[in-house]
């Protein structure tokens, strides 16, 4: 890990975050891809540099660390799957709205503006109680 590599990863994460916070799904997808690239940078550079980890082409010292590479390979392929899924989302959004903007959640906005309904908390007990007590005419 060198300062340069750490800075690169940080830059990728920063740009990715900036894009993820946007409203256009295309930009969000690019942001997620960049986040994935940043994570891969962190992972791969956490292991030692060296020659490609193939046994038989020389001594086993000086080989690159294979475990982070295997993990990064897994991560890359899964990012590909996620990107495919997100693009399907964008496609669907286009089918429905001819654009790929991420809309606000209607239910959440409803609750934020009007509050949730309270049921079952006020039976008729409170009012009926007062009714009975006030009528003190017991004769």
Partner 1 sequence: MVGLGLVASGRRAGRAAPWIAALPLAATLAWLGASAGAVLGGAPVTQSVAWVPELGVDLDLRLDGFAALFVLLISGIGVLVLAYSARYLDRGGAGDGRLLGLLVLFAGSMLGLVLADNMVLLFGFWELTSVTSFLLIGNDHTNLAARAAALQALLVTGLGGLALLAGVVLIGQAAGTFSLSAVLADPPGGTAVTVGLTLVLVGAFSKSALYPFHSWLPAAMAASTPVSTYLHSATMVKAGVYLVGRFAPAFDTVWVWRPSVVGAGLVTMLAGGLRALRQHDLKRLLAFGTVSQLGFMVVLLGLGTRAALVAGCALVLAHGLFKAALFMVVGIVEHQAGTRDVRRLARWGRGWRPTTVVTVVSAASMAGVPLTFGFIAKEEDFAALADGAFSYHGLVLALVVAGSTLTAAYSAWFGWGMLGRAGESGDAVSEAPPPAAAFLAPAALLTALTVVLGVAPAAVDRWAGGAARALDPAVEPVHLALWHGFNLPLALSAVALAGGLALFLARARVARVLAWGGRLPSGADVYHGLLGAVNTGADRLTGLVQNGSLPTYAGVILTTAALLTTGALMAGGGWPGWPALVGSAGHVAVCVALVVTAVAAGAVHRRFSAALLLGATGYAMAGLFVVQGGADLALTQVAIETLTTVLFVLVLRRLPDRFEPRVRPGRRLIRAAVAVAVGLMVFGLALTAGGSRTAEPVSGEMVERAVPDGGGRNVVNVILVDFRGFDTLGEITVLTAAAIGSVALARAGRRPGRRTAPEPPAGEELRVRRLVVVDVAVRLVFPAVMVGSLYLLFAGHNQPGGGFVGGIVAGAAVALRYVAGGIDDVRSLSRARPWTVLGAGLLVSAVTAAMPLLFGGAVLEAALVEGDLPLLGHVKVGSALAFDVGVYLVVLGLVLMVFESFGDDPRVPAK
Q: Could you tell me the two tokens for 102?
A: 């991420």
Q: Which of residues 36-95 bind partner 1 (CB under 8 A)?
A: 37-38, 40-42, 44-56, 60, 63-70, 72-74, 76-78, 80-85, 87-92, 94-95
Cβ 22 vs Cβ 37: under 8 Å: no
Distance CA 64, CA 48 (A): 5
Show the binding pattern over residues 14-33: x = contacts partner 1 (CB under 8 A), - = does not: xxxxxxxxxxx-xx--xx-x
Q: Which of residues 98-117 bind partner 1 (CB under 8 A)?
A: 98-100, 102, 104-109, 111-113, 115-116
Distance CA 126, CA 66 (A): 71
Least distance to partner 1, CB of residue 59, Å:
11
Least distance to partner 1, CB of residue 87, Å:
5
Q: Which helix (H) or strand (E) holds 32?
A: helix 25-45
């Amino acid at each position: 890990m060198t300062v340069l590599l750490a800075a690169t990863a940080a830059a990728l994460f920063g740009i990715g975050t900036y894009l993820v916070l946007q409203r256009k799904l295309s930009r969000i997808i690019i942001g997620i891809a960049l986040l994935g690239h940043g994570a891969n940078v962190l992972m791969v550079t956490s292991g030692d540099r060296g020659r490609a980890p193939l046994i038989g082409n020389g001594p086993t010292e000086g080989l690159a660390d294979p475990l982070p590479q295997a993990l990064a390979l897994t991560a890359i392929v899964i990012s590909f799957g996620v990107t495919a899924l997100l693009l399907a989302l964008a496609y669907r959004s286009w089918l429905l709205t001819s654009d790929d903007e991420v809309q606000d959640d209607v239910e959440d906005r409803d609750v934020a503006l009007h509050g949730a309904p309270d049921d079952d908390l006020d039976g008729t007990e409170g009012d009926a109680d007062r009714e009975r007590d006030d009528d003190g005419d017991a004769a």
